[in-house]
Amino acid sequence: MTTFRGFRVAALTAVSLLALSAGANAQVTLNVVTAGDQNMVDYVIDFLGPKFEAKNPGVKVRAIGTGPGDAGSQAVFEKLKAQKSQDKWDVDVAVVHQVIAGPMLKEELLENYTGKIESGKLATRDSAKNALGANVQGYVMPMFNSQIAIAYNPDMVKDVPTTYQALADWAKANPKKFGYNGIKGGMSGVGFVTGWIYAFAPNGLATTTAYDANAKAGWKDALAGLKEFNKNATITPGNAGTLDMLGRGEIAMGPVWVDMFYSWMADGKISPKTKLVLLGPGMPGQPMYYTLPAKAAHKDIALKFIDFAASPEIQAEGIVKRFNWYPGIDAQYVQKSLDQKTWDKLFTDVTPADLAAKGKTFPVAAHLKEIQESYEANVTQ
């Protein structure tokens, strides 16, 4: 997933967030602050902002990036919290990761708004309601959904595993031909490990809905199985490393972010014959969220902006076609705005039904931390 590929922090104080002077002829400047990589900022500057401005004369959209990874979202959180006592805030729309949505709600920094926009009813996946265990329904609108899946070379994998158990059996029969990046080389590896807990730990999927302090005590056998699995796996240097080794034929399978997979394919870095499969009982993915700060200076325009950004037409052209992300709203609403070639590319290997059945959220934040700590303590030792 693009937004987890690094952890470089660009502090809000280092950018021109507070430079609220409008463009030369604009009556209103709408400040859209986004966590994530530079492509998140570029998306607003090059595509979304100009289209919104064309439909709303007198409005200038200003995009400000706060840096990739959770740190970028933390910077947005700290900025809004610092302004909490003021009557008006200078962030009109904030785009953040799941991890910070709950804390923002707890500090009463967000407006409950999705019921006020037309597109609000078009997003029904769990990720529109639950952010790592926090109930965020009404307060967030997914900008896109990024998904982890298993990429494989069909020339090397004839009997394609469709479950974690089948994959474990395949890896045992094909030593070192499955590769992933552990938990320190990128979130696709963390997602794979999380899916392993879903598959093999008692009540593993329950970690997505509520925190249970006793849950990790039941992970012993699952972690022992993963340690054994790793003897037959290749540990890659990162998200890109997995794709790189797959492209060179050094491994036959590995977990990847779907958007990154298709971007590499479009750039000719991996064979167009390479395919995807989503393992059961499920693999995690996650969205970025559009949020509306509770005291946004231009709240009415911000609502129009988010509604526009989440509309089927913009989701189709901007999110799916330009970035290969899955749409933030339900795919069925986007299909009519996509050509058949684009639809087939994104939904042939992993279908909307696959996503509905096997596209899981990451677990409650405390469990996600415990899973990574348990991996370090029990699998890598």
pLDDT in tens, 229-252: 999 999 999 888 999 999 999 999
State the Cα–Cα distance between residues 189 and 239, nearest whole angstrom: 8
For residue range 35-92, list pLDDT tens digits in order.
Answer: 987 878 999 999 999 999 999 999 999 999 998 777 889 999 999 999 999 999 999 9
Q: What is the pLDDT of residue 74?
A: 94
- The percent of residues in the chain predicted with pLDDT above 90, rounded, is 74
Strand partners, 289: 96, 142
Q: What is the pLDDT of residue 18?
A: 42
State the Cα–Cα distance between residues 31 and 300, nearest whole angstrom: 13
- H helix or E strand, kind and range, residue 29: strand 28-34
Token representation of residue 61 = 């959209």
Domain boundaries, the chain: 28-145+286-347, 147-285+361-380
- The percent of residues in the chain predicted with pLDDT above 70, rounded, is 93
Q: What angle do CA 301, 336, 137 make, to 5 degrees?
A: 45
Q: What is the pLDDT of residue 126?
A: 81
Given a cut of 50, whether residue 9 has pLDDT beyond it is no
Q: What is the pLDDT of residue 263?
A: 85
State the Cα–Cα distance between residues 179 and 165, nearest whole angstrom: 16
State the Cα–Cα distance between residues 186 and 206, nearest whole angstrom: 24
For residue range 89-128, list pLDDT tens digits in order.
Answer: 999 999 999 989 999 999 999 999 999 999 999 998 888 9
Q: What value does the mean pLDDT take over residues 4-10?
A: 36
Tell me the torsion sign for CA atoms 94, 100, 101, 107. negative
Q: What is the pLDDT of residue 184?
A: 83
Q: What value does the mean pLDDT take over residues 183-190?
A: 86
Assigned architecture for domain 147-285+361-380: 3-Layer(aba) Sandwich (3.40)
Q: What is the pLDDT of residue 8?
A: 35
Given a cut of 80, whether residue 2 has pLDDT beyond it is no
Given a cut of 50, whether residue 206 has pLDDT beyond it is yes
State the Cα–Cα distance between residues 219 and 198, nearest whole angstrom: 10
Q: What is the pLDDT of residue 26?
A: 53
The whole-chain average pLDDT of the chain stands at: 90
Q: What is the pLDDT of residue 68?
A: 75
Given a cut of 60, whether residue 167 has pLDDT beyond it is yes
* CATH of region 28-145+286-347: 3.40.190.10
**Weakest mean pLDDT among 11-15, 298-302, 324-328:** 11-15
Given a cut of 90, whether residue 337 has pLDDT beyond it is yes
